[in-house]
Chains A and B, each alone.
Chain A
Amino acid sequence: MLRYALKRLGLGIIIVSVAMMMLFAMVYVIPGDPASVALGPRATQEMVESLRARMGLDQPIWIQFARFYMSAFRGDLGTEVLSGRPVLTVVLEQLPFTLTLIAGAISWSVLLGIPLGCIAAVKRGGFVDRVIGVLSVAVIAVPSFVIAIYSLLIFAVALQWLPAIGAGEPGNVISQLRHLILPSLAVGLGWVGYIARIVRASMLETLEASHIRTARAFGLTDRRITYSYALRIAVLPTITLLGVGIGHMLSSSVFAEIVFARPGIGKLVYEAISVRNYPIVTGAVLVTTVFFVVVNVIADIVIGALDPRVRASFD
């Protein structure tokens, strides 16, 4: 188990390093000097020079790169040029909002997706199965930002059932939950479809397995066979799927945060980009990438813990 976990972790670190290299390359080719961009057109040459020196932009490229790397691994993503606050702090302040949003989206997708997939598998070939199938494809196909805008229009503007803007009053859980419903549904709805489909497929496969025949031959009830013996195996792929899905949900949360005017990483990056606040952009991209890779490593390790077979194949 430990060796398996370490192997996955090692791979994750390598991927993050390569991603950082690409990120650095991308930022480096940005036209215009970040220092003069940050200070605006009326800055004097002296001011720009001193800021360049402070940002390390006067060094050769490989030194800049090495610095970027070293400091990133120390957790230092630089300071925001204007306010002087550490980038990491600014980004981490916003992270909980986005994580809450994603947690909400995962709840929707799991709470709706697993039962739907299960029902579809049990009623395979019937009308219910077909309806669930078409609905799953439909929610996967429609982009999340359209769902976000339309749900805002219907439930917040027209029906006024739910609030449209913000993340809710600090400290008021009910208010925060009410503010969470629509954005998290917009982010998670597509994943309801993905999860329903994968649970259906793996459920059908599992029900064919010979240990299910054994369970039947021992007279276990269909209910127990389906919902305990088979489902326990059939849900395993959802964990891997959600690991990948979190990356996509991070993307969708950018839209959800902008549409519903919620604080969060997506909104932070969007606003930083419109004022060309590059340290924030790179910092946020780095944090989300690391987050995504870590989530995937965790997903794989969880799978290993839940499914003894996976673990065994690595030992």
Chain B
Amino acid sequence: MLRLAKIWRIVRRIVREPLGALGLGLVVLVVLSALFADVLASYPPTKLSPADRFAPASFQHLLGTDHIGRDLFSRVLYGGRIALSIALGATGASLVIGIMLGLIAGYGPRWLDNILLLVFDALKSFPTVILALTLVTITGPSLMSVVLVVVLVSVPGYARIIRTQTLVLKSAEHVMAARSMGAGSARILTVHILPNVIGPILILASMDIPVVVAIEAGLSFLGMGVRPPTPSWGSILNDGFANIRDSYWIVVAGGLPIILTTLGFTFLGETLRDLFDPRLKGRV
């Protein structure tokens, strides 16, 4: 009960900001429509109906149909499931790896720190999409490749922040005190350092969710992400792009959910950051 009350208080503070309210509203909309996709969708997302090819929006097909007669509204709903689960899974994986590498770099020996920093810098020096394309060529287009790309792209950022904070905390008084009383490295890292670095990184990660959604949609748009016929917003865009001159509603159906989701999470993330961690404000 206590936790619920606390969450409620936070929600009320978010909603008081117009931008926060809009962001939260959009996020709730996207999450609910993904969760209840099977209830809301009137057609299975992969069901072909050649008779209804290229049908514009109507009451039967709220967003119209695509080049092989699939209902776009249903595909958008199910595409939300893919987008959100990849966003959560990939961000979670990057967080775990980033935190571990950051702690190692910050707490471990100097030479290891230097090597890791170089690796992070080098990873960051590849243009994201070109790195992603190269990787997908190696692993083949799949859900896991998308996750791998996200991890490679976002781990350096998280790790660097964790590293800096760890370096600061390493010489902080309470950590020195714990060490002088014989606490081992593992204990110091998990009990004294990790809880202090995790807050800001979680907010940053929440702000990275739109980036992950964009990476998934972008790779799927290029045909390098989620494999057809699995519905993905990016592959809807791909289907629509080929027919953009005659059937504009397909790209509209593919693009709108991407815009709403990225805007929603960004507005929410910005509000959260301003409310809870004004220190991060300068970061662009």
Contact = CB atoms under 8 A, between A and B. Distances in A.
B263 interface: yes
Contact of A137 (B128, B241, B252, B266): B266
A255 to B, nearest CB: 7
A273 B137 contact: yes
Interface in B111-156: 118-119, 121-131, 133-138
Interface in B167-222: 210, 213-214, 217-218, 221-222
User: Residue among A149, A194, A278, A285 with the most chain B CB within 10 A?
Assistant: A149
A134 B138 contact: no
B56 to A, nearest CB: 15
B123 A255 contact: no
A157 B245 contact: yes
B128 A248 contact: yes
Interface stretch (A18-26, A54-62, A78-86, A221-229): A18-26
A140 interface: yes
B222 A258 contact: yes
B69 interface: no
A150 interface: yes
A198 B122 contact: no
A94 B137 CA distance: 21
B130 A31 contact: no
A270 B128 CA distance: 13
A150 B127 CA distance: 23
Nearest to B259: A142
A288 interface: yes
Given A145-B218, A146-B258, A285-B131, A18 B118 contact: yes
B36 interface: no
A142 B257 CA distance: 11
A259 B241 contact: yes
A269 interface: yes
Nearest to B221: A145
Contacts of B267: 137, 141
B262 A142 contact: yes
A281 B127 CA distance: 13
B251 interface: yes
A284 interface: yes
Contacts of B262: 141-143
Contacts of A270: 133, 222
User: Residue among A16, A273, A278 with the most chain B CB within 10 A?
Assistant: A273
Contact of A150 (B119, B245, B251): B251
Contacts of A266: 129-130
B266 to A, nearest CB: 4
A241 B283 CA distance: 11
B257 to A, nearest CB: 10
A254 B133 contact: yes
B218 A143 contact: yes
B127 A146 contact: no
A14 B252 CA distance: 45
B210 A141 contact: yes
5 contacts: A30-B137, A145-B214, A146-B217, A149-B244, A285-B134
